[in-house]
Amino acid sequence: MNFRRHIDRLLGHSLKAHGRPCQQAAAACCRFSPHGELELLLVTSRDTGRWILPKGNIERKEAPYLAAQREAFEESGVQGKVRKRPIGFYSYLKDGDRELQVSVHLLRVTKDSAKFKETEQRQKAWFRPSVAAPLVDEPQLRQLLSSLNALE
């Protein structure tokens, strides 16, 4: 079974955004290690240094999946094939008071650059899904990343 069909089968029950529009898009950047294990990319936030997915605002007239692809490149220097259909959604409080909805798009990494736009502001690291999930603070995102454990 190819990778895309396998993801579709496992995540066909994606979480819904509760009818609210998404203001941000995130990239769940993945690759296979030399040993064939699935790995996910996490980056640190600029303000608190906590582990997050590369994410950011969806620009006017920009498709969410393209926003996720752009943010992945800007925040971590990765490029690859992004899925148009989100694998899930989560919400979080921006600056502790404003709730934002985020669509999460799977991005299969084909190129990973050491130097990127925010190199001096962020760290990045690759983790197996079972290790990545508990590192993020947002419960809905943690649940979504945990669902990728089935791919390990």
CA distance 109 to 68: 13
Backbone angles phi, psi at 59, to 5 degrees: -70, 160
Q: What is the DSSP string of 24-41?
A: EEEEEEEEE-TTS-EEEE
CA distance 29 to 14: 17
CA distance 32 to 18: 32
CA distance 23 to 56: 8
Q: Which residues neighbour 18 within 8 Å (Cβ) at sequence distance 6 or greater?
A: 89, 101
Per the annotation, the verdict on 118 as an active-site residue is no
Active-site residue identified among 37, 62, 74, 138 = 74
Single out the residue of 119, 152, 138 nearest to residue 51, CA to CA.
Answer: 138
The residues that are catalytic are: 74
